[in-house]
Chain A
Amino acid sequence: MAIVDLIATNVVRVPLKSSTKTEIIRELIDVLDKAGKLSDSESAFKAVIARENMGSTGLEKGIAVPHAKTEKVKNLVLAIGIAPDGVDFDSLDGEPSKLFFLLLAQPSQSGPHIEALAEIARITRSQSFCRLLLNAQTPEEVVELFKEE
């Protein structure tokens, strides 16, 4: 499944309001919850935090890809958040994270989960695309960028 299939305006938050790592994760989980994608947001939140405790998913160049397996989703779900000013996410390069891709999958959906993460990895290699995303002002613009890319 292509990640563009997972993206709709109701799973995109621009800009994110939170200013800490835990709050960012909570905010993105709330986005998914409000979009009707979760059966238990608290468990989903805990699953993401547990994964973060093993090692931060804050990568380099302002990208973070928090993810987890949880029974609390029916299908693979993705939330995208943009924090133009950056948030400390314990990233590998120590720089603030600005683009967040939170992905949740059923434990039985490892294949699609891996393919979606690999696609995010490919997309975020493009600095020009990341710049365009960072400049997006609305969820509609974000969705359009993914369709055009």
Chain B
Amino acid sequence: MDGPVKKIMVYVDGSEKSIIAAQYGICLARATEAEFHVLYVVNTRALNDLVSAKIFLKEEEEEYKKDLDSDADKYLNHVRHLAADKGVNAKVFKLSGSINVEIKNFTKEYEIDLFIIGELSKIQSRRDELYNEAERAMRSVNCSVIIVKDDERVLELYNKLR
């Protein structure tokens, strides 16, 4: 644990890119013996916005909240298994709120020194720069950030781990 990285955190949102990022995090955690944290944020901020905008009915909000909770459990378990298969102990966390705020707070509270995220969507409009949650998180955290891009190489690295 004297290496350059002691606590890694990967943010997963269920996307394929975020799972690849988790696999890269597992490889790094194995190589550095760093603690491996996995975070999923149930985006209740967006749910609240939809109720405020009257796009969602109250019963829809409840239904989608349950869906998101269930997604969170599913993806966190998936990453926990991916890590366990490679001998890495994943500490998984499910939080609720605004994604970028929860990520920032988590990295601070748990003294994360490396934040890993999946490849970001291509910026196609100025709005993307303002509202993309992962991008905002990347800019707001105080620790170093790795954006995982090379899917095939990461899969190869992960699969080669014994």
Q: Do A and B bind each other?
A: yes
Interface residues of B, dominant DSSP:
helix
Cα separation A142 to B128 with both chains bound (whole Å): 17
Q: Are B57 and A114 in contact (CB under 8 A)?
A: no
Known: A1-B121, A2-B125, A111-B71. A121 touches B53 (CB 8 A): yes
For B46, list chain A residues within 8 Å (CB): 114-115, 117-118
How many Cβ-Cβ contacts under 8 Å join chain A to chain B? 74
For B, the interface residue count at a CB cutoff of 8 angstroms equals 27
Known: A114-B64, A117-B50, A121-B53. A5 touches B124 (CB 8 A): yes
Q: Are B125 and A92 in contact (CB under 8 A)?
A: no
Q: Mark A104-121, 1 if CB is under 8 A from B, else 0.
A: 000110110111011111
Known: A5-B124, A59-B53, A92-B54. A114 touches B131 (CB 8 A): no
Cα separation A115 to B43 with both chains bound (whole Å): 8
Q: Mark B89-120, 1 if CB is under 8 A from A, else 0.
A: 00000000000000000000000000000000
Cα separation A57 to B13 with both chains bound (whole Å): 27
Q: Are B67 and A107 in contact (CB under 8 A)?
A: yes
For B55, list chain A residues within 8 Å (CB): 57, 59, 65, 67, 117, 120-121
Task: List the interface of chain A (C-beta within 8 A of B).
Answer: 1-2, 4-5, 54-55, 57, 59-60, 65, 67, 92, 107-108, 110-111, 113-115, 117-124, 146-149
Contacts A110-B68, A149-B125 aside, 4 further interface pairs with beta carbons under 8 A come to A4-B124, A4-B125, A117-B55, A122-B131
